[in-house]
Amino acid sequence: MTAFAIETNGLGKTFRSFWSGREVRAVDGISLQVEKGTTYGLLGPNGAGKTTTVKMLLSAVHPTSGSAHIFGRNAALPEARRHIGYLPENHRFPTYLTGYGMLDFYGALSGMDAAARRRRIPELLAHVGHDDWAEVRLGKYSKGMLQRVVLAQSLMHDPQLLILDEPSDGVDPVGRRQIREILQSLEQRGVTIFVNSHLLAEVEAFCRDVAILHKGKIVLQGKVRDLTAGKGYRLSVAADIPEKLRQSLLTGAAAFAPRETFLDIQFHERSAANAAIDLLRAEHIEIEALTPTTSTLEDVFIRSVDAQ
């Protein structure tokens, strides 16, 4: 057994267009490693190849190059996928099934016996906050409720690895928070979570590591805390400083934002922030605050995609 839950080596997938006959390289030789027990986000704009990558990990689509391994086993082998729970994007379930009935059906498909299903289903419905909705048909569920019961479906057989394709898509802020809390509890139990999403704020709040996919290639990967570190400094001073001093301060600034009583000035370099402080001290102007600032994951994402 390797130290990784997911390991890919030069994974690629080419599709042939039905209309033009031309080949389209949806995923172009990506390599990544997801350690066991971590949360990993796969990011990218629409059409970047995220869902195709997920389908190759699940062997729903076969790669045209490279390989993928799940817990040290080739992902193409059925035994490699026995410990995976999957929440698909744009899922469709029979709306006549109740929440309990849906979990019972998919638990049976995963090989669970009837006694195990009877024990597991009430636990999961309580875990996702659907105790009172067990006998209600799925057609009556809201988008957020349906997303949570589908998450429960992916947990029926107590998987070691969760692969989630846009788990919060279309869910309101309250529902997203509830899903995030459920995933955090799973992370604390040592479950590996692989999230494919374009909701960057959700990924930043939850994932430890990310890879950014663009046009089928990984353009950036690393730990979220490292990728978002070191943006610059924000200096706050009174808004009513002399105009000549204001202009001198703004000369070395990257950006500024006037507020009602304060002026916020952004600097990329520490030396520029120090020069501004020297100017203020020379004029006996009090500094309200000097705050180190960081990039958001959205900043990192936009820079990475625009650079290609």
DSSP 65-81: EEEEEETTEETTSGGGG
Which residue in 70, 82, 53 sits closest to 7, CA to CA? Answer: 70
Within the chain, residue ranges assigned H as helices are 50-57, 99-109, 114-127, 143-154, 173-188, 200-206, 224-227, 243-251, 270-282, 297-306
Structure tokens at 175: 């529902």
Supply the mean pLDDT for the chain.
Answer: 90
b/e burial code for range 156-195 (CB count within 10 A of at least 16 → b): bbebbbbbbbbbbeebeeebbebbeebbeebbeeebbbbb
Given this model, what pLDDT does residue 138 score? Answer: 96
Q: Per DSSP, what are the bridge partners of residue 233? A: 267, 292
Q: Measured between alpha carbons, how far is 9 from 16 in angstroms, rounded to an integer?
A: 23
| Domain boundaries of the chain, sorted by first residue | 4-227, 232-306
Q: How far is CA 184 from CA 113, 127, 175, 223, 258, in A?
A: 28, 12, 14, 17, 38
Strand arrangement, sheet containing 232-238: 255-258, 262-267, 232-238, 287-293
Residues 6+ apart with CB under 8 A from 221: 32, 209, 210, 211, 212
How many helices and strands (H and E) does the chain possess? Answer: 10, 14
Q: Which two tokens stand for residue 45?
A: 């704009």
Task: Specify the CATH class of 232-306 in words.
Answer: alpha beta
| Close Cβ partners of 298 (under 8 Å, ≥ 6 residues apart) | 200, 201, 204
Q: Do domains 4-227 and 232-306 have the same CATH topology?
A: no
Classify 4-227 by CATH class.
alpha beta
Burial letters 112-151, b for 16+ CB under 10 A, else e: beeeebeebbeebbebbbbeebbeeebeebeebbbbbbbb
DSSP 140: G
Task: Answer yes or no: are the C-beta atoms of 99 and 130 closer than 8 Å.
Answer: yes
Stretches in the chain below the pLDDT threshold 70: 1-2, 230, 308
Q: Cα(181)–Cα(299) distance, rounded to whole angstroms?
A: 25
The residue type of 136 is V
Q: Which two tokens mark 307?
A: 């650079």
Contact 166, 197 (CB under 8 A): yes
Angle at 194 between CA 99 and CA 231, to 5 degrees: 125
The pLDDT value given to residue 1: 47
